[in-house]
Structure 1
């Protein structure tokens, strides 16, 4: 593994976890978990992705507030120490990744430039 599972940290707020649980229930995927991943693209070079998925053998797994969060090893290096939140504002609502590894973030909050 590129990133040690013993030191990997990721958190999810209670509000974000409630939104994830509601979406999983709505889709009827009781065995699904939230996958957080990083892909190339976006305004700043990398972008976050969220999807419902099943656990793979090499995933980093975090469980909090009744939600299982999965991160593949490649993405772990970019999101280590991050917090997944759900934000509601006059600009809209959605999931937000608060990432201490980002040197720049796009105004939309979905794209970042890593350290």
Structure 2
């Protein structure tokens, strides 16, 4: 295994949140440091189509308005990191971006991998479902659900 693979393993390990950890352990556990100079300040955005689809899902499922759209990454996939998208409760640490009336939440530890990403929802013959256009990715898998930086 190369030094670069070791670094990627460390990054992936630091991104995977364990739901079994209690809040006190999480508060004291050191997380990956984000170098503020590396952040571009670009928001995580939804297209209008994606925002409409999120609202449609929320209505159809009768979901609580206190659930926000979480965009995250986790280790895995053929390119190293996979996108996670789902409705979740907001924490005090989350960074919030609003698009077309939908509040998108991102854990600050994931932001360095997601800054500038655009989530879309094409609804045509060629593609259907949520897609991710990530300017940080240097490599994407064929299905578009994982990437490498």
Distance in 2 of aligned mates of 1:60 and 1:8:
12
Higher strand share: 1
Distance in 2 of aligned mates of 1:43 and 1:89:
26
Q: Give ranges in structure 2 of 5+ residues lacking alignment.
A: 1-32
Q: Residues 11-30 of structure 1: matches in 2 within 5 Å?
A: 11-29=45-63, 30=65
For the pair 1:43 / 2:78, whether they are aligned, the reply is yes
Point out which structure has higher relative CO (alpha carbons under 8 A, 6+ apart): 1
Q: Which moved more, 1:78-87 or 1:24-33?
A: 24-33
Q: Rg: which structure is higher?
A: 2
Q: Which stretches of structure 1, 4 residues or longer, exceed 6 Å deviation after superposition?
A: none
Under a length normalisation based on structure 1, what TM-score does the superposition of the two structures give?
A: 0.89
Q: How many residues align?
A: 114
**Partner residue in 1 for 2:107:** 72
Under a length normalisation based on structure 2, what TM-score does the superposition of the two structures give?
A: 0.70
Higher helix share: 2
Q: Give ranges in structure 1 of 5+ residues lacking alignment.
A: none
State whether residues 37 and 49 of structure 1, in contact with CA within 8 Å, keep that contact through their aligned partners in structure 2: yes
Q: Deviations over 1:56-114 (max 9, x none)?
A: 11111001101010111111110101111112343441101100000011111110011
Among candidates 77, 83, 87, match of residue 52 of structure 1: 87
